[in-house]
C-alpha cells in the first residue's frame, strides 16, 4: 500500500461541531494537546456552517485537520483541511451507508479532490450510539466476526484504514485485539470510551491509532493530553 498521512500517528482528536467545549477551553487549547491530527465530524446536528466554524477556529494552529462528513450535504471546501476521511460502514443495515451516500457525493460533486480523499472502513460496535441507529448497524458481532470484517476491508476492498468504533462506550479488548491481528497493512483506528491514561494505554496496545472524542467536550484539555501521552508510551 502507498504511504498514508496516518502512518506515523498514534492519536487523533475528534471534534464534534454540534457539541460545546468545556467552559474556558478553546479550540486552540485542544490543538495544543499534542494530538497527531484533528478530525472534525459527528453524526447528528451537523451543518456546513458548524463544520466551517470549527475548521476555521483550528486552522491557525499547527495540527493537521481532516473533515469526516456524515453525509454529502455537509462537505465543505476549505483549504485549511488536509483532506477528507469518509466512513463506509461495513456492518450497516442499509447499503446507503456502505456505498449509497458515497455515490451521491460523487454524482453531486463533479470535481472530487481524490488526492485528499480517503475512506475509513468502519465497524460500528455500540448499538446504543447514534451512528448505529443512523446506519442500522448490526452490532451483535463476535471477535471472529470483527476480524473477518477487518480482513474483508483490507484484503478484498483494499482499505488503508479500518476503524473499530465503540462510540461512547469502552470496547472489548479481546475484540480490538482480534481486529489488530486480522490487519497487516491497514491501519487500525479505535474509538470509544477512552477517558484517561489507563484506558488510552489499554487500547493503544492493540490499535495503531486511538481516537478520542467525547473527552474533549466533557473534560477538556488536561484529560485529552493524558491520552496523548498514553498513546505515545504504548
In the block, cell 490543538 appears at 31
> Regarding beta strands 83-89 and 65-67, do their DSSP bridges make them parallel or antiparallel, or are they unpaired?
parallel
What's the average model confidence in pLDDT over 73-80? Answer: 86
Taking only the tens place, the pLDDT of each residue in 187-213 is 999 999 999 999 999 999 999 999 999
Mean pLDDT of 76-84: 90
**Residue 44: pLDDT over 70:** yes
Q: How many CB atoms lie within 10 A of CB 205?
A: 13
Three cell numbers, residue 79:
483549504
The answer to whether the CB of 164 falls within 8 A of the CB of 137 is: no
* pLDDT at residue number 73: 80
Average pLDDT of the residues of the chain? 93
The 10s digit of each residue's pLDDT in 82-108 is 999 999 999 999 999 999 989 988 888
Q: For residue 37, what is the enclosing H or E element?
A: strand 37-40
CATH number (3.20.20.390, 3.20.20.70, 3.40.50.150, 3.30.950.10) of 9-233 reads 3.20.20.390
Domain spans of the chain?
9-233
Binding residue numbers for sn-glycerol 1-phosphate: 14, 163-168, 193, 213-214
Binding residues for Mg(2+): 16, 43
Query: Which residue ranges make up the annotated binding site?
Result: 14, 16, 43, 163-168, 193, 213-214
Q: What is the DSSP letter of 172?
A: P
CB 76 within 8 A of CB 67: yes
| H/E stretch holding 115 | none
Amino acid at each position: 500500500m502507498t504511504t498514508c498521512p496516518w502512518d506515523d500517528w498514534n492519536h487523533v482528536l475528534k471534534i464534534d461541531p454540534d457539541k460545546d467545549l468545556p467552559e474556558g477551553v478553546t479550540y486552540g487549547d485542544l490543538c495544543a494537546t499534542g494530538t497527531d491530527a484533528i478530525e472534525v465530524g459527528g453524526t447528528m446536528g451537523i451543518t456546513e456552517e458548524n463544520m466551517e466554524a470549527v475548521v476555521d477556529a483550528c486552522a491557525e494552529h499547527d495540527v493537521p485537520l481532516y473533515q469526516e462528513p456524515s453525509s454529502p450535504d455537509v462537505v465543505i471546501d476549505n483549504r485549511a483541511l488536509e483532506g477528507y476521511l469518509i466512513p463506509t460502514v461495513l456492518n450497516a443495515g442499509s447499503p446507503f451507508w456502505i456505498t449509497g451516500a458515497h455515490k451521491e457525493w460523487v454524482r453531486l460533486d463533479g470535481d472530487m479532490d481524490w488526492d485528499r480523499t480517503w475512506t475509513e472502513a468502519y465497524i460500528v460496535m455500540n448499538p446504543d450510539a447514534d451512528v448505529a441507529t443512523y446506519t442500522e448497524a448490526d452490532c451483535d458481532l463476535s471477535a471472529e466476526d470483527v476480524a473477518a470484517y477487518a480482513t474483508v476491508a483490507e484484503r478484498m476492498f483494499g482499505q488503508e484504514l479500518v476503524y473499530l468504533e465503540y462510540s461512547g462506550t469502552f470496547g472489548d479488548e479481546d475484540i480490538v485485539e482480534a481486529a489488530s491481528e486480522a490487519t497487516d497493512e491497514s491501519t487500525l483506528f479505535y474509538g470509544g470510551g477512552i477517558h484517561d491514561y489507563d484506558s488510552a494505554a489499554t487500547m493503544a496496545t492493540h490499535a495503531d491509532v486511538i481516537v478520542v472524542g467525547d473527552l474533549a467536550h466533557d473534560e477538556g484539555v488536561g484529560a485529552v493530553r493524558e491520552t496523548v501521552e498514553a498513546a505515545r508510551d504504548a
